[in-house]
Structure 1
Amino acid sequence: MGKMIIDQKYNKLFLELKTRVTASRYRAAVKVNNELINLYHHIGNIILQSQEKEGWGAKIINQLSIDLRAEFPDMKGFSPQNLKYMRKFAEEFSQTEIGQQAVDQIPWGHIVLLMYSGLDKEQINFYVNQTVEKGWSRNVLSMQIETKLHKRKGTAVTNFDKKLPLPQSDLAQSTLKNPYLFDFLSLGDKAQEREVEKGLVKHIEQFLLELGEGFAFLGRQYHLQVEDQDFYIDMLFYHIKLRSFVVIELKSGQFKPEYAGKMNFYLSAVDDLLKHSGDNPSIGLILCRSKVGVLAEYALRDMTKPIGLAEYRLEDSLPDDIKTSLPTIEELESELSKRINSDEDSDE
């Protein structure tokens, strides 16, 4: 048996074991987290019930913190502030809601962030599910809340319902946003298409984060040759879940109907020149500086290819309808300080 064959078999074996170990570690981590979150909820409930029954204020929390840390010196999380978080957790979530909304599958720090986000239960559930599905860090979750992803996701103008079969049309629609926020580029509002394009490639990690999970970058000014003519796509991606090529064109001005026709041509060429038999139809996304509306809907109506249109924004400050409701660290600490002082006053 040749060495190459042995190597191939070993690599296959190792990959299988690696996948199994990774999955097992993930399940173990979820189980441990589940136990911790349920413990915190139980502690919060006990504190809440005892305070209501006995009329105890913040001093009981301080005493519990001292005693719990002395009894369990190897465990973290029993600070007075964290015990107050647990009490708030019990106030805002029932035991049933925790399991139904998958709250016990995300880290405690994420839960605390969501509790002080100003979001309602439906919106919190959206971010919980997104965190579980995409494995967001706390910083990424905070950024998504600040930019109000729940209002932008799935809101692009598209013709997917008519040009793509179910369930791909729904998945493609939910993949796109409107608007896309490119304030990380630090470009002036009058930046031209090529400047934006170069900036997005330079900051590709942040761009991919804004695009969302599943996008793989294939190239900028991607060359296509049709007969004896050369064409260049602004940006070409492949989406892993959609199993589709995604063509993105950037436009610095207002949307024009001819943009849809040009995108339709690009998608036909990509489907013919790049798409494999196992791929789904390629999808186009036209990003314009101005808002897209009825004009865009008319332009897409008779296109033969699946195309989406959305706005992109470069400004550093978000407009009023997208401003965050998430309190700053300073505001959060100030509010907690007020509550602590109020509770201590009631004990005296």
Structure 2
Amino acid sequence: MLINQSVIADIKTIITHSREQVIRAVDHQRTLMYWHIGKRIFEEEQEGKDRADYGTYLTKYVAEELEPEFGSGFSKRQIELFRQFFRVFPIANSLRSQLSWTQYKLLIRIDNQCKREFYVAETIKNNWTSRQLERQVYSSLYERLLLSNDKESVLAVAKEEKLPSDPREIIKDPMVLEFLGLQREASYYEKELETAIITHLQSFLLELGNGFTFAARQKRIHIDGDDFFIDLVCYNRLLNCSVIIEIKTGKLTHQDLGQLQMYVNYYDRVEKLPRENATVGILLCAGKNGSIVKFTLPEGQKQIIASEYQTCLPTEKQLLDEINKEVQNFEKKKEIKQ
């Protein structure tokens, strides 16, 4: 008797999906339990707030009563974490079932509400694992997007309240490629960097931003007898356009920008479909001179983006210093116009 073999694959999919739903539901109930414990401790703490060190004594006492019976998950450190959880997320209905307790523990450490809301929205939208969320927090994704955008725009795009109207709203500068395992001091050719990116393609697409899919490597284009090869071609479903990426391991030059502009023009005139938006080009370089970018490209253009790459995680201070520079430059431009 012939049996349609797809039935086994379908049943396996059902089983896997159901197991994932059960695990997610159990984890969410655990998260709610921790929230309610935190709420009860906070309420009791408020009752005795006129007594010195009552909060410290209370968490210690609760842990001593619970840990022997329920295990190390109810140590003093964990009890304090439950209290902090309630204080950071005081509304039970705002807790999202898509987020695990491990992810909430990461989010609790973020003291800026807008920044925290951004990571909540991005985690849910992109179905990030705890490891992926941790990597994005520690690589300062939020701060890097702020370098070229305002806070309201970054948060609105993350929450899907608006579609990105400018590629800079989702493309970061700098890009952090620490997952490639390249040494900062080492000299390497563009081909090696490209190969490392392809090897770690999933991580690279995550670093690129929302909505990116890989399309081609060393894409050959033929122009009147001459052949050219584009390093990487991606597509972004949010921007609805092709994204060309050229890799330069040296300092950016105006010739590099001119070459990328030619590739973008070719794609716009030959490859682009009528329903698609204008092609975007990213020049991924080891270092750039902002003035060269400014005077090489037309004023107000949005198609060409020069983004530095870093092979190790930047500190938050480094990124905040860059943001402050951008704010100061913006204020100066406003003063000149006035």
Q: Which secondary structure state, in structure 2, belongs to the residue aligned with residue 301 of structure 1?
A: coil
Partner residue of 1:127? 119
Partner residue of 1:84? 80
Kindly tell me: are residues 150 and 317 of structure 1, through their superposed partners in 2, closer, same or farther at Cα, counting changes over 3 Å?
Answer: closer
**Which aligned pairs between 1:68-83 and structure 2 lie closer than 5 A?**
69=70, 78=74, 81-83=77-79
Partner residue of 1:59? 61
CA deviation vs aligned residue, 1:175-202 (integer Å, no higher than 9, x gap): 2001112232324443232221222122
CA deviation vs aligned residue, 1:109-168 (integer Å, no higher than 9, x gap): 111122235x422222221111111111111111111111111126459xxxxxxxxx76
Is 1:241–2:243 an aligned residue pair? Answer: no
Kindly tell me: are residues 77 and 313 of structure 1, through their superposed partners in 2, closer, same or farther at Cα, counting changes over 3 Å?
Answer: same
Q: Which secondary structure state, in structure 2, belongs to the residue aligned with residue 82 of structure 1?
A: helix
- Contact preservation (8 Å) 1:197, 1:234: yes
Alignment match of 1:108 (pick from 93, 101, 111):
101
Alignment match of 1:42 (pick from 36, 57, 64):
36
Is 1:298–2:298 an aligned residue pair? Answer: no
- Contact preservation (8 Å) 1:113, 1:142: yes
The residue type equivalent to 1:136 in the other structure is: W
- Structure 2 distance, partners of 1:280, 1:295, is 26
The residue type equivalent to 1:120 in the other structure is: N
Partner residue of 2:172? 177
The residue type equivalent to 1:274 in the other structure is: E
Kindly tell me: are residues 91 and 169 of structure 1, through their superposed partners in 2, closer, same or farther at Cα, counting changes over 3 Å?
Answer: closer
Kindly tell me: are residues 276 and 77 of structure 1, through their superposed partners in 2, closer, same or farther at Cα, counting changes over 3 Å?
Answer: farther
Cα deviation for residue 44 of structure 1 reads 0.6
Kindly tell me: are residues 305 and 53 of structure 1, through their superposed partners in 2, closer, same or farther at Cα, counting changes over 3 Å?
Answer: closer
Partner residue of 1:160? none
Unaligned runs of 5+ residues in structure 2 are: 49-53, 150-161, 321-338
- Structure 1 distance, partners of 2:210, 2:194, is 20
Cα deviation for residue 66 of structure 1 reads 4.7
- Contact preservation (8 Å) 1:292, 1:309: no
Decide which moves more: 52-61 or 25-34.
25-34
Kindly tell me: are residues 263 and 291 of structure 1, through their superposed partners in 2, closer, same or farther at Cα, counting changes over 3 Å?
Answer: closer
Partner residue of 1:339? none
- Contact preservation (8 Å) 1:154, 1:173: no
CA deviation vs aligned residue, 1:302-328 (integer Å, no higher than 9, x gap): 5977111111123577696159xxxxx
**Which aligned pairs between 1:250-289 and structure 2 lie closer than 5 A?**
250-289=247-286
Partner residue of 2:200? 203
Name the TM-score, length of structure 1 as normaliser.
0.70
- Structure 1 distance, partners of 2:177, 2:85, is 34
- Structure 2 distance, partners of 1:249, 1:174, is 20
- Contact preservation (8 Å) 1:264, 1:303: no
Runs of at least 4 residues off by over 4 Å: 24-36, 76-81, 102-105, 302-305, 315-320
Is 1:150–2:152 an aligned residue pair? Answer: no
Q: Which secondary structure state, in structure 1, belongs to the residue aligned with residue 287 of structure 2?
A: coil
- Structure 2 distance, partners of 1:272, 1:197, is 26
Partner residue of 1:141? 133
- Structure 1 distance, partners of 2:148, 2:221, is 27
- Structure 1 distance, partners of 2:21, 2:239, is 26
Aligned length: 294
Aligned identity (percent) is: 25
Kindly tell me: are residues 254 and 313 of structure 1, through their superposed partners in 2, closer, same or farther at Cα, counting changes over 3 Å?
Answer: same
Unaligned runs of 5+ residues in structure 1 are: 1-6, 71-75, 158-166, 324-348
Is 1:93–2:89 an aligned residue pair? Answer: yes
- Structure 1 distance, partners of 2:119, 2:302, is 32
- Structure 1 distance, partners of 2:163, 2:314, is 35
- Structure 2 distance, partners of 1:202, 1:35, is 38
- Structure 2 distance, partners of 1:156, 1:224, is 32
- Structure 2 distance, partners of 1:304, 1:178, is 17
Kindly tell me: are residues 303 and 90 of structure 1, through their superposed partners in 2, closer, same or farther at Cα, counting changes over 3 Å?
Answer: closer
